[in-house]
Amino acid sequence: MGSPAEPLYGKVFTRPRVVIVGGGFAGIHAAMSLAHLPVDVTVVDRRNHHTFQPLLYQVALAVLSPADIAQPIRTILRSQPNTQVLMDEVTGLDTSAKTVSLSSGAQLPWDCLVLATGATHSYFGKDEWAPLAPALKTIEDATEIRRRVLLAFELAERQMVEHGWHPPLNFVVIGGGPTGVELAGAISDIAQLYMRRDFRHIDPAKSRVLLLEGSPRVLAAYPEDLSAKAEAALTRLGVEVHTKTQVTNLGPGWVEAGGKRMEAVVTLWAAGVQASPLGKLLAATPGIQLDKRGCVVVDDHLNPPGVPNVFVLGDLAHFEQDGHQVPGVAQPAMQMGDHVAKIIAADLRGAPRPPFRYFDKGDMATIGRMDAVAKVEWPFKAHMSGFPAWVTWLTVHIFFLIGFRNRISVFVAWIWTYFTFTRGARLITGDLKLPGWQDQLDAGAKAGLDKPSAD
Amino acid sequence: MGSPAEPLYGKVFTRPRVVIVGGGFAGIHAAMSLAHLPVDVTVVDRRNHHTFQPLLYQVALAVLSPADIAQPIRTILRSQPNTQVLMDEVTGLDTSAKTVSLSSGAQLPWDCLVLATGATHSYFGKDEWAPLAPALKTIEDATEIRRRVLLAFELAERQMVEHGWHPPLNFVVIGGGPTGVELAGAISDIAQLYMRRDFRHIDPAKSRVLLLEGSPRVLAAYPEDLSAKAEAALTRLGVEVHTKTQVTNLGPGWVEAGGKRMEAVVTLWAAGVQASPLGKLLAATPGIQLDKRGCVVVDDHLNPPGVPNVFVLGDLAHFEQDGHQVPGVAQPAMQMGDHVAKIIAADLRGAPRPPFRYFDKGDMATIGRMDAVAKVEWPFKAHMSGFPAWVTWLTVHIFFLIGFRNRISVFVAWIWTYFTFTRGARLITGDLKLPGWQDQLDAGAKAGLDKPSAD
């Protein structure tokens, strides 16, 4: 019997060993749903924490603290005696030997493997853009974006005091999907509303927020009327929305798009995602197919064809239903996680496996302080926008946050933020430089912008 | 008139310009007390935030989030129209030209200079120890210590799962002053109480916490009976207190003290402080004296002798009262800050300057979850210990936290932590390595500790 109080090695297992790689929505839901089955569960993640990704942009814009939306995976699962958590990186996998390799070289055996390592950002082959235009996937990404946005205002104020001018405060967000829309709206909020009283020499409200989207509309995955509403709401907030605008190049302090080069004090990337590299490791197994973003094509039992003891979930899975690919968002990931437990339970009983079907309750994105768009599918069908959509968004996100403490602290932070116009987590830590900033100062000084000191 | 809505340069000042360097307790209190005087105040700090240092150890041990105890300096001071905040580093100062130099090379003129840049850690000339044994002065220090302590447990669990053994979990705290005592008590807490249910293969309660102090007793600045009570309380928590134990050397994964070499998975430094380097810049002015820690000797108007328009406050000042040096803690810093405004007000009225006198209300240090020692001087004189001292400590610290939101969030975090035995901010971010860890694994493997896998 695999009692979790003993080391994993050096003993004989009699219960099926389920190894779950990835502690995101899919992996955590799979582990939680397996709590009462006679299996031994190991969750492997290279991070110690589960991140509530839908609120990551609020960490990036200083509303919430990182710990408000992140919880140790082993704390979430600590009351499940059949589950252990291993903070390690999976470096290889072998579907015939039924093992995964870990960073130390050790092999972790499994009877059933659940892959849920999600997605990462894609710079479409231009990986040199990554340090210039950070994307938003992890807590570290969020604090890096926060550092850059807050630092831009501080450096402009400093330059104004010391030299009487500052480079334009242009914030460029590349990509008009939900993340790009939420980031652009939140930057506009912070500049227009939250920073105003704090500075003496610059006017944060005069900074520009540009949202660049290659396709003809923002939120392209949403119905057209909601895209139009989102664009109108962004425009009301002062965001300059440029659709049909492809970014062709970018560098420290500038972005080239639609044939024009614009200065950018901070550039953020919300344009592309690709599957985590684990999909490629799996692709060595014959018969396994990846789509163009590296997602593993799975059948309605969430297996790649011909590998019934390997499940691929969440953003790493390419699952089609009614001719459409299920999107890489939180809801299908959670449902897939729960479903894997149902399949394993059926296997244990010798019953036929139930097919997975995604139950779409809808989709929503916030736009700044009091606005949102929502495509509701359940409990009724509706397109919502404005304040009611925003309240719905708040309620749903508080409800889905894992951990009672996080619910309290996020609730308190929101009340505080929305009523006092103060951001609670306006911390700049780490490096005090911005890419390209010095170039812009030098160019300005050369152009004679520096005013001579009165002294 | 220096209206704060215009750039600092290119205009004529008619109001005295007060430049405050440093946004700690002394600098913030000086700025706040100058709010209603006819002076133009500039606060310069290289960080954007004021840190409530007495609670920094709770960030290091995952009770609080960094933003709970840090607030943007410009937000604290935003309602004072006569005050501006500049995030920049002072690189030089000239008391005859009455300017400070900033990192960009610009000069900031002043009529009155307030230096309050505090103290930093001292490794007594062994600066190569700093990356091996981090000290606790900044938010970055606190998250680095948090990373190391939490990672130690994770890596031990991983090693246990993959190889059936792990190096000893020895946490070594060097220095038995208030910071060392608070860190040792809090590490013991987290190991004994907060981690227990989360791990399957290691027993966090079996980790050792060693507190090494060179002098004959911990809390050497406190009365002897409180030192004895603190040592007894630490021992009850399982901390191994070694007094009269000098650290002679340390390296990645080990500490040498009292003639013995001990393994240390995490080493923390709480042994020495020295004045910030700004004191040295000032020492170029004739007649200015530094003590052996680099603090500037000041008279009872908080001026170095012969420089009446320069004030030195807080940990950077060496101020003697009744034959004793006033300690480098928060209370005298705040009082000195307030007092500078009184002196400047007197100068403006042409009245004689009031002398500074430190009003000592007492001192306190927590020891773990429910214990503390306090030397109370006001409103009555007493030596307190145990639970009553701890409740007093809680009350005082909540009261002195700047910002209503921080008071709420710290209060909620404490209630949560003390009742649920869960730490809310158990985040590991950044590098996933510990210094010396791999050496210890290699040594263990060589010694035959690795158990062969059953597979």
Q: Judge whether residue B401 has pLDDT over 80.
A: yes
Q: Is A72 on the interface with B (CB under 8 A)?
A: yes
Chain A hits for B167, CB-CB cut-off 8 Å, are none
Q: Find, in chain B, the residue whose alpha carbon is nearest to that of A48.
A: B428
Core vs surface per residue B429-445: b (16+ CB within 10 A) or e: beebebbbbeebbeebe
Cβ neighbors of B311 (< 8 A, separation 6 or more) are B30, B112, B113, B114, B115, B298, B301, B302, B303, B340, B343
Of B89, B25, B77, residue with least CA distance to B51: B25
Higher pLDDT, A409 or A339: A339
Angle ∠(B374,B378,B379) on CA atoms, nearest 5: 120
Which residues in B lie closer than 8 A to residue A424 (C-beta atoms)?
A: 67, 405-406, 409
Question: B72, A453: Cβ pair inside 8 Å?
Answer: no
Q: Using the predicted structure, report yes or no on whether residue A260 has a pLDDT greater than 80.
A: yes
Q: Tell me whether A453 touches chain B (CB under 8 Å).
A: yes
CA B218, B222, B223, B225 torsion-angle sign = negative
> Among positive and negative, which fits the CA dihedral A159, A161, A162, A163?
positive
* Per-residue model confidence (pLDDT) at position B316: 97
Q: Give the H/E segment covering residue A242.
A: strand A239-242
In angstroms, the CA B376 to CA B292 distance is 29
The mean pLDDT of chain B is 92
Q: Is the pLDDT of residue B454 over 70?
A: no
Question: Which residues of A are marked as active site?
Answer: 182
Question: Which residues 108-137 of A have a C-beta within 8 angstroms of B?
Answer: 108-109
Residue A242's CB is within 10 A of a number of other CB atoms, namely: 18
Whether the pLDDT of residue B1 is over 90: the answer is no
pLDDT of res. B290: 96
End-to-end, the C-alpha distance of chain B in Å comes to 82
Q: Give the distance, in angstroms, between the CA of residue B291 and the centroid of all CA atoms in the same chain.
A: 21
A-interface mutation test, from B73, B409, B441, most A Cβ less than 10 A away: B409
pLDDT of residue B4 exceeding 50, the answer is no
Cβ-based neighbour number of residue A328 at 10 Å: 18
B106 in contact with A, Cβ within 8 Å: yes
The chain A residue lying nearest B202, using CA atoms, is A5
Neighbours of A96 (CB within 10 A): 6
Q: Is the pLDDT of residue B176 over 80?
A: yes
A121-164 pLDDT, tens digit each: 999 999 999 999 999 999 999 999 999 999 999 999 999 999 99
Contact of B412 with chain A, judged by CB distance below 8 Å, is answered with: yes
The Cα–Cα gap between A48 and B1 comes to: 55
Asked if A164 and B198 come within 8 Å (Cβ–Cβ), the reply is no
User: Best interface-test mutation with B: which of A17, A48, A196 has the largest number of B CBs within 10 A?
Assistant: A48
Question: Catalytic one among B144, B157, B182, B231?
Answer: B182
On chain A, the residues whose CB falls within 8 A of the CB of B107 are 453, 455
CB contact under 8 A, B67 and A197: no
Q: Is the pLDDT of residue B10 over 50?
A: no
Backbone angles phi, psi at B417, to 5 degrees: -65, -45
Band of pLDDT at residue B11, cut at 50, 70 and 90: very low
Helices assigned H by DSSP within B131-271: 139-163, 178-189, 224-236
Q: Is A200 on the interface with B (CB under 8 A)?
A: yes
- Name the pLDDT band for A421 (thresholds 50, 70, 90): confident
pLDDT confidence of residue B342: 98
Percent above pLDDT 70 for chain B? 96
Q: Is the pLDDT of residue A246 over 90?
A: yes
Residues of A in contact with B99 (CB under 8 A): 455
Chain mean pLDDT for chain A: 92
Residue B423's pLDDT band (boundaries 50, 70, 90)?
confident
For B447, other C-beta atoms within 10 Å of its C-beta total: 9
Torsion of CA B6, B7, B13, B14, to 10 degrees: 20
Write out pLDDT tens, residues A267-283.
999 998 999 999 999 98
Residue B9 pLDDT > 80, yes or no?
A: no
DSSP letters, B283-320, are: TTSTT--B-TTSPEE--TTSPPTT-TTEEE-GGGEE-E
Nearest to A106 among B48, B162, B416 (CB): B162
Residue A412: list chain B partners with CB under 8 A.
405, 408-409, 412
**What pLDDT, on the 0 to 100 scale, is given for residue B415?**
87
Average pLDDT (A302-322) is 96
Q: Name which of B69, B141, B151, B405 to mutate to probe chain A: the one with the most chain A Cβ atoms within 10 A of its Cβ.
A: B405
Name which of A3-7, A78-82, B432-436 the model is least confident about.
Answer: A3-7
pLDDT value at residue B86 = 97
pLDDT of amino acid A452 = 55
Phi-psi region at A317: left, alpha or beta (left = phi > 0; alpha = psi -120 to 50): beta
Q: Which chain A residues touch B10 with a CB distance below 8 Å?
A: 164, 451-454
Record the tokens describing residue A165, joined without a space: 């001018």
pLDDT digits (tens, 9 = 90+) for B297-324: 999 999 999 999 999 999 999 999 999 9
Distance CA A422, CA B19 (A): 26
Inter-residue contact A357 to A348 (CB < 8 Å): no
Q: Fill in the amino acid letter for A43.
A: V
Backbone φ and ψ of A322, nearest 5°: 55, 35
Residue of chain A minimizing CA distance to B10: A454
Mean pLDDT, range A294-304, rounded to an integer? 97
Which of A10, A70, A78 is closest, CB to CB, to B427?
Answer: A70
Q: Which residues, numbered 11 to 30 in chain A, qualify as contacts with chain B under a Cβ-Cβ cut-off of 8 Å?
A: 11-12
Going by DSSP bridges, is the β-strand pair A320-321/A324-325 parallel, antiparallel, or unpaired?
antiparallel
B210 burial level (CB within 10 Å; 0-12, 13-18, 19+): buried
Tens of pLDDT, residue by residue over B77-97, are 999 999 999 999 999 999 999
Which residues of chain A lie closer than 8 angstroms to B454, CB-CB?
Answer: 9-12
Nearest C-alpha of chain A: how many angstroms from B454? 5
| Strand A324-325 relative to strand A317-318, pairing | unpaired
Q: Which helix (H) or strand (E) holds B250?
A: strand B247-251
Q: Which residues of B touch A75 (CB under 8 A)?
A: 198, 422, 426
CA distance to partner chain B, nearest, from residue A6 (Å): 6
Dist CA B349 CA A82 (whole Å):
75
Interface check for A413 against chain B (CB to CB < 8 A): the answer is yes
Helix, strand, or coil (residue A38): coil
Of the candidates A65, A68, A88, the beta carbon closest to that of B158 is on A88
User: DSSP string spanning B32-88?
Assistant: HHTTTSSSEEEEEESSSEEE-GGGHHHHHTTSS-GGGSEEEHHHHTTT-TTEEEEE-
* pLDDT for res A120: 94
Indicate whether B39 pLDDT > 50.
Answer: yes
Please compute, for residue A404, the number of CA atoms within 13 A of its CA located in the half-sphere on the CB side.
6
By C-alpha distance, the chain B residue nearest A420 is B405
Q: With a CB-CB cutoff of 8 Å, which residues 79-98 of chain B face chain A? A: 79, 84-88
pLDDT of A5 above 50: no
Residue A21 to residue A74: CA distance in whole angstroms:
14
State how far residue B171 is from chain A, nearest Cα, in angstroms: 20
| pLDDT score at A13 | 54
A255 and A262 in contact (C-beta within 8 Å)? yes
Enumerate residues 6+ apart whose C-beta is below 8 A from B365: B178, B181, B182, B219, B222, B230, B372, B373, B393
